[in-house]
Structure 1
Amino acid sequence: MATLINSLLSHEQSAHLAEQVMAYCDELAHISQTLGIIDRRYLTPEHKQANDKLAQWAAQSQLQHWEDEAGNQWIRLPAQQQDNLPHEAPRVIMGSHTDSVPDGGRYDGPLGVVGPLVLLKHFAESRVQFPFHLDVVGFGDEEGTRFGSTLLGSSAICGMWQSRWRELTDENGVSLAQAMYDFGLDVSKVSEAQIDSSRVLAYLETHIEQGPVLEERGKPLAAVKGIAGARRFNITLKGQAGHAGTVPMVLRHDPLVIASHWITQVQQMATATSDSEFPVVATVGRLEVRPGAVNVVPGEVRMSLDIRSLSDEARDAVFDSLQELLEVEAAFHQLECQFEPTHNASAVSCNDEMTRSLNQLVTHYFGDSAPLVSGAGHDAMALAMRVPATMLFVRCKGGVSHHPDESIMTSDAAAALQVMAAFVTDIARKAT
């Protein structure tokens, strides 16, 4: 076995391996159910094709590989042979997801799968082993674009699969249970995908930032200290439609006017938290005006609200104020007001010790870069409920994500490989 120090990457090695990472991401990008765009969804033939491709790359370096009962693809560099049996060894897991949104980018998800895979191939070919199984997982579903519920693959391995999910249907009316059968899986056996969390030393998810902060800082990487909790609502304001020329201004019950004032308050109240310990972000992303005619006073407005923070308490305090404000204004102007909750996810903090170690490595290699908060959800949210988990963000051009223009630099992929290698080496040193 090679000495543990050989598990660290030189600048030249990381640069060479990063070229392979970029090539693999390009190759996966061609696996799509929709011609001309990246569109790869859970339990589709393209999902199976992506899993097979990962397995093929793993087999080239004699790495172990298997697909679990939820459709997640696993790759393993086995632990160094010790007194205990190999299957009883502890595990360090790295991974992310292989599914995409329709017309998405090629790095959101796959970077966190093929990056660690390339690293494992390098370790195997260099005969480097660790006192734990070093696993890579490509989760089949994180985006939720086929069945409308996110984190299905990671929830399965964490023992958080919900039986009601088997009844979910896609846009063509195909149930999740049927899709699993077509894929070659049995939905009644999903529980067998659950891992023994007591044997997991760490989970590391490498992901593009999906935001502009690292680019603004001029830094390639940052550790992630937590993932924001999000709540979403559909909001309806009902007033009275009327003729634009005949209804006097003082007699109108125009919900669009009140909605416009309120949207401004959403912006102002969230912005006011920007310098606090737990900033809140809030977005009205959809606005529908009915009847929507140029010569008719609006009678109804439907809009969405997405509100997030690393602190559920801070987020909920801002939301409560916003809800009260709109309800009071609506009542004053004789409008009906309804808030319909559509999503509620609690904030998740990354493991303090793991994040501290990761941040120290980022600082060692690339200078100080304070940990970030992820405003987007990730598989790490599920893993953090069961095992010590953290994340590594990689700079992406313009912060663009979920879009064909999604882009990273090869040098930043190399930087991530260096830190990932150092991260698992650090865990190995502490374990021996």
Structure 2
Amino acid sequence: MTSASLLRAAPDVIAAAARRVMARCEELARVSAAAASIERVYLSPEHARVNRLAAEWMRELGMRTWQDAAGNQVGRIGDPAAPALMLGSHLDTVLDAGRYDGIAGVLMALEVVRLLRVPVGGDGDAAGDGWTVPLPFAIEVVAFSDEEGTRFGKALLGSSAVAGTWSDAWWELTDADGVSLRRAFLEFGLDPARVGEAARRPDELVGYLEAHIEQGPELDRAGEPLAVVSSIASARRFQLVVEGEARHAGGTPYDMRRDALLGASEAALAVERICSAEHHIVGTVGRFEAFPGAVNVIPGEVQFSLDLRGEFDGERDRVWDALARELDEIMGRRALRWRSREVHSAPAVFCAPLLQDVVAGGIRAALPPRSDAPPVIFSRAGHDGMSLGAVTDVGMLFLRNPDGVSHHPDESVSAGDVAHGIRALAEAVLLRGTERV
């Protein structure tokens, strides 16, 4: 894939685009349900507010806008009859979130549209005699509404609707206040019976490209600003329960104790031990709660979560089987019982070779010449592309994240790297336009 630049835009134009992205990330960070942190969940008043902001920014660029039947905000520009290259990411957050996870990708996509609308003269004046490069497809920017799954515990709801993989079983999911997904849809002004209208057909799309901060330290450690993403991790999530016997903390000798907390703690350590010995397998116990929770009572039950990710589905499943055998041994030795319930499963999604090529070409055009290929990274974090892979080809661009901190207020990205990323994403779009649709 060529590394020659196709984009006619001066460096100061792209630097201004990056500054606009950074400023809008700050603006969106102020749309929060929490006074002292960032919290924006699906079908909330904050979700509605950021959709309105995104729609306003889309219309500034001449895009036709709509909120789809699942609450995703969409903007489109180009031939109404042509298939679309979809760009985007998500605007929802985890609790106590950072400013850039997902958000930067949506805003960068809008800046790509802005750059591609600049006349050939490059300065926006009437001297230009056309657009940057004629594209054989329309461009759509999508701000997905529920990538994180914070409110209802099921990730990728918005992009699953677009991919046509919505499950009616999800309607009974409830949030921490007992509000069902169905009720939340109605209160937000959406019709549950029409959620299928958000689905896109394969012939309507030529692909999906997403820019995202890396949610790890690989680029930072390598001193690289950008990378091509090769694949998105397969994932399985479980809720596990360990059952023992609640008894008096002072009166029960050790040989009679069936302490669920100790058994669950040993299980959590087994997750670390088994997963850390495997290549590209990550296991995390993120929630851990003991019952009855009194200081003078031996815990009779513990509930905890397990998030298991891997580059390949088979390796991930093999590690789960090994963990299950280890839990059998631990609980048998401690006279405890355990059970699990799988709450999420997603296969690995491999980025399409063509889209990996255009992203690599975009990086080469955006950065100073180099003798080696741009870095290629496997994404251990999940993204909306996992859903979109069911309906179209997927490609991703990673931006350096200093120290790799994410899902935390210290999450960061530099304006300089955002500028490089905007340029690379725009070049990738143009390179895709030179290929046969």
TM-score of the superposed pair, with normalisation by structure 2: 0.86
Mapped to 1, the partners of 2:237 and 2:303 lie a distance apart of 13
Structure 1 runs (4+) greater than 6 angstroms displaced: none
Return closer, same or farther for 1:135/1:8 CA change in 2, 3 Å cut-off. Answer: farther
Equivalence for 1:38: 38
Return closer, same or farther for 1:90/1:320 CA change in 2, 3 Å cut-off. Answer: same
8 Å Cα contact 1:97/1:141 also seen in 2: yes
Q: What's the secondary structure of 2:117's corresponding residue?
A: helix
8 Å Cα contact 2:208/2:388 also seen in 1: yes
Counterpart among 226, 234, 243 of residue 229 in structure 1: 234
Task: State the Cα distance separating 1:166 from its structure 2 match.
Answer: 3.8
Mapped to 1, the partners of 2:107 and 2:206 lie a distance apart of 21
Return closer, same or farther for 1:182/1:359 CA change in 2, 3 Å cut-off. Answer: same
8 Å Cα contact 2:358/2:432 also seen in 1: no
8 Å Cα contact 1:58/1:121 also seen in 2: no
8 Å Cα contact 2:362/2:423 also seen in 1: no
> What aligned pairs does 1:46-195 form with structure 2 within 5 A after superposition?
46-78=46-78, 86-126=79-119, 127-128=131-132, 129-195=134-200
**What amino acid sits opposite 1:345 in the alignment?**
A
Task: State the Cα distance separating 1:188 from its structure 2 match.
Answer: 1.9
> What aligned pairs does 1:13-412 form with structure 2 within 5 A after superposition?
13-78=13-78, 86-126=79-119, 127-128=131-132, 129-241=134-246, 247-250=252-255, 252-274=257-279, 279-290=280-291, 298-363=299-364, 365-366=366-367, 368-412=373-417
Mapped to 1, the partners of 2:267 and 2:29 lie a distance apart of 41
User: CA-atom RMSD, angstroms?
Assistant: 2.6
Which stretch shows the higher mean deviation, 228-237 or 359-368? Answer: 359-368
Q: Deviations over 1:17-44 (max 9, x none)?
A: 1111111222222222333432222233
Which stretch shows the higher mean deviation, 343-352 or 212-221? Answer: 343-352
Unaligned runs of 5+ in 1: 79-85
Q: Deviations over 1:67-90 (max 9, x none)?
A: 222222222231xxxxxxx32212
Which stretch shows the higher mean deviation, 198-207 or 292-301? Answer: 292-301
Mapped to 1, the partners of 2:322 and 2:6 lie a distance apart of 56
Mapped to 2, the partners of 1:254 and 1:166 lie a distance apart of 37
Which stretch shows the higher mean deviation, 303-312 or 290-299? Answer: 290-299
**What amino acid sits opposite 1:12 in the alignment?**
D
Task: State the Cα distance separating 1:240 from its structure 2 match.
Answer: 4.3
Return closer, same or farther for 1:326/1:145 CA change in 2, 3 Å cut-off. Answer: closer
Mapped to 2, the partners of 1:130 and 1:54 lie a distance apart of 24
8 Å Cα contact 1:281/1:308 also seen in 2: yes
Return closer, same or farther for 1:270/1:91 CA change in 2, 3 Å cut-off. Answer: same
Equivalence for 2:122: none
Which stretch shows the higher mean deviation, 114-123 or 349-358? Answer: 349-358
Q: Deviations over 1:187-244 (max 9, x none)?
A: 2222222223223112001111121221111111112111212222233333445556
Task: State the Cα distance separating 1:110 from its structure 2 match.
Answer: 1.4
Unaligned runs of 5+ in 2: 120-130
Percentage of pairs with the same residue: 41
Return closer, same or farther for 1:288/1:154 CA change in 2, 3 Å cut-off. Answer: closer
**What amino acid sits opposite 1:387 in the alignment?**
T
Mapped to 1, the partners of 2:253 and 2:177 lie a distance apart of 48
Return closer, same or farther for 1:297/1:75 CA change in 2, 3 Å cut-off. Answer: closer
Return closer, same or farther for 1:295/1:388 CA change in 2, 3 Å cut-off. Answer: same
Q: What's the secondary structure of 1:232's corresponding residue?
A: strand
Which stretch shows the higher mean deviation, 341-350 or 5-14? Answer: 5-14
Mapped to 1, the partners of 2:135 and 2:335 lie a distance apart of 68
Task: State the Cα distance separating 1:360 from its structure 2 match.
Answer: 4.3
8 Å Cα contact 1:63/1:121 also seen in 2: no
8 Å Cα contact 1:8/1:418 also seen in 2: no
Mapped to 1, the partners of 2:173 and 2:292 lie a distance apart of 33
Which stretch shows the higher mean deviation, 242-251 or 341-350? Answer: 242-251
8 Å Cα contact 1:142/1:379 also seen in 2: yes
Return closer, same or farther for 1:198/1:407 CA change in 2, 3 Å cut-off. Answer: same
Q: Deviations over 1:350-374 (max 9, x none)?
A: 2232123323443554454432222
Mapped to 2, the partners of 1:170 and 1:253 lie a distance apart of 32
**What amino acid sits opposite 1:54 in the alignment?**
A
Q: What's the secondary structure of 2:165's corresponding residue?
A: coil
Task: State the Cα distance separating 1:154 from its structure 2 match.
Answer: 1.2
8 Å Cα contact 1:9/1:421 also seen in 2: no
Return closer, same or farther for 1:255/1:416 CA change in 2, 3 Å cut-off. Answer: same
**What amino acid sits opposite 1:265 in the alignment?**
A
8 Å Cα contact 1:40/1:46 also seen in 2: yes
Task: State the Cα distance separating 1:383 from its structure 2 match.
Answer: 0.5
Which stretch shows the higher mean deviation, 181-190 or 146-155? Answer: 181-190
**What amino acid sits opposite 1:134 in the alignment?**
I
Which stretch shows the higher mean deviation, 101-110 or 248-257? Answer: 248-257
Return closer, same or farther for 1:309/1:53 CA change in 2, 3 Å cut-off. Answer: same
Return closer, same or farther for 1:234/1:48 CA change in 2, 3 Å cut-off. Answer: closer
Mapped to 1, the partners of 2:141 and 2:434 lie a distance apart of 20
Task: State the Cα distance separating 1:402 from its structure 2 match.
Answer: 2.0
Mapped to 1, the partners of 2:305 and 2:179 lie a distance apart of 28
**What amino acid sits opposite 1:63 in the alignment?**
M
Mapped to 2, the partners of 1:199 and 1:143 lie a distance apart of 26
Mapped to 2, the partners of 1:98 and 1:60 lie a distance apart of 19
Q: What's the secondary structure of 1:138's corresponding residue?
A: strand
Equivalence for 2:126: none
Residue-pair matches, total: 418
Return closer, same or farther for 1:334/1:200 CA change in 2, 3 Å cut-off. Answer: same
